[in-house]
Amino acid sequence: MRLTPCTRYSLVRALSTILLTVGVMLSSLSNAQLSEIRDIEDSVIKIYTTQAAPDYFTPWRLLTPRQSSGSGAVIIGNRILTNAHVVANASYVQAQKHNDPRRYQARVTFVSHEADLALITVDEPGFFSDLKALTIGDLPEPLQEVSVYGYPIGGKTLSITKGILSRVEQQVYAHAGAYLLAGQIDAAINPGNSGGPVIVDQQIVGVVMQANAGGRAENLGYFVPPSVVRHVLQDSEDGELDGFPDLGFRTQTLDSPSAKLAYGLEKDQNGVLVIKVFPDSPADGVLQENDVILKIDDYEVADDGTIELTEDLLTDYKHAIDMHHIGDTLEITYSRDGRERTVDLYAEKALQNYSLVRGERFDEIPQYYIYGGVLFVPLNMNLIKRWGNDWSRSAPVSLLQARNEWSSPDRRELVVALQVLAADVNLGYHDWRNWVVEYVNGVPIRDFQHFANMLAENEAENIVFENKNGYQMVINHTDALASEEAILSQYRIPSSHSVNLFESE
């Protein structure tokens, strides 16, 4: 078929019009996308901190202050959402906007070290006036593409990387050791990215956090998911940290058919075995050891301890408890001796110690007591981690083993004779260190406060410190008091005990 010149001209003109229209549409779409990206970029803040953590080997001192940086995102209420570890033990915090060389003084308004999340703000008038507050979205689908915004090491400008959501499951958070839901992505996340937002459709679907593998650069990262972020934001509304609730029981899996039969389960029943119920907890007096937890609210608990959040997502049953707030009611279905029962438990704050070794804390003054030139401290993870990044191998075995022991009302905390400040009063013990003390003059030690009170109120001639194997350290009480001032002066120690030790009395 032959086209006349007139027809060819009409077709070319029509095609040109179509191409021009498509070009305008693509240009418009591209400009819209660029505008959206710029809005997000302006909402991502670089955070500078000066951190001075206490030295748990010499608890009256601070470690050398260090400077670090992280990232954050502006959210509703003139707040910046970031990681807790970015501002932990911070003595000075600054915030810097995208493409703005000025650093503004910032202050921390709320911290959840458990969830590795913190809120900071800037009081400078007008700081937030040109910034768009980002909203919290929903957890992405598996294999969905996400964008990670932040200020990683190696440069001063904002970095944007892309990756896919590869896994969502309960993880041990690197910052404070809590066991919470976390997402994993294959985007490059490096030091400095911490606290930056994970974005899908202009919404925050996660907050980048420390990887368990450490601080080295790698093409793998973890983020705090939206459910945990929302929990912390709701917790922050009254300015008081409640944290995540704990019902006060511990379980083990029931994968063994013999074990299921032994505890009265039918073949089609699944659950986890209660192995410990803590005194003074919500479960105390309700659940018993050897009960089997079958359901938590509407979530059925599998033999391996998982629940089904969605068709594609299984995670530890602890998540069903974590998402409640203090004061909420949870429905627990359990089996005892083959009989199924249902009970309501109230979500309460977690007890201070479930293990004899308290978890790592931040923004706190360490406790200590010096008596007869001997430095006594409570055993906690802050002290254990003072042995360095390889603490699980380099810390004393006796201290590490205590992590596996449950606490009780009669034995809530261990006391360690950390070192001996050599003096006449403690001759014969100068090389004793890292020694767990169980008794004072035959009285079992309940916790560090109880220990300090026994020393302060002592009227006996001698004080005998004893460990569980019977080894003893004897200090004359009169000599201990008489030598105190000289020992403190000789070793340049400001006080014989931490300033907060007797505040609760």
Any catalytic annotation for residue 194? yes
Distance separating alpha carbons of residues 136 and 489, to the nearest angstrom: 55
Cβ 39 vs Cβ 202: under 8 Å: yes
Same domain, residue pair 183 and 320: no
Which residue is catalytic, options 85, 113, 175, 319?
Answer: 85
Same domain, 82 and 170: yes
> Is 85 marked active-site?
yes
User: Which pLDDT score is estimated for 10?
Assistant: 59
Domain boundary among 213, 238, 263: 238
255 is a catalytic site residue: no
Residue 23 in any domain: the answer is no
Angle at 129 between CA 125 and CA 133, to 5 degrees: 125
What pLDDT, on the 0 to 100 scale, is given for residue 175?
93
Residues 60 and 160 in one domain: yes
The pLDDT of residue 26 is: 46
Residue 35 has a pLDDT of: 61
Per-residue confidence (pLDDT) for residue 13, from 0 to 100: 62
Total tally of structural domains belonging to the chain:
3
pLDDT tens for each residue of 83-95: 999 999 999 999 9
Q: What is the residue range of 434's domain?
A: 369-490
Please give the C-alpha separations between residue 91 and each of 88, 94, 107, 386, 417, in angstroms, as whole numbers: 9, 11, 10, 20, 30
Q: What is the per-residue pLDDT for 44? A: 96
* Domain membership flag for residue 456: yes
Residues 288 and 155 occupy one common structural domain:
no
Taking only Cα atoms into account, the Rg of the chain, rounded to an integer number of angstroms, comes to: 29
**Which listed residue (68, 71, 112, 194) is catalytic?**
194
Q: Check whether residue 428 and residue 345 sit in a common domain.
A: no
**Whole-structure pTM value:** 0.88
- The reply to whether 118 and 261 lie within a common domain is no
Residues 53 and 202 in one domain: yes
Question: Domain check: are 297 and 391 in the same one?
Answer: no
Q: Write out residues in the chain with pLDDT < 70, as ranges.
A: 1-36, 211-219, 504-505
Q: What is the pLDDT of residue 217?
A: 46
Instruction: Tell me, yes or no, whether 345 and 401 share the same domain.
Output: no
In a domain, 39, yes or no: no
User: What CATH number is given to the structural domain containing 404?
Assistant: 3.20.190.20
Which of 69, 116, 147, 235 does the annotation list as catalytic?
116
Q: How far apart are the C-alpha atoms of 74 and 95, rounded to whole Å?
A: 11
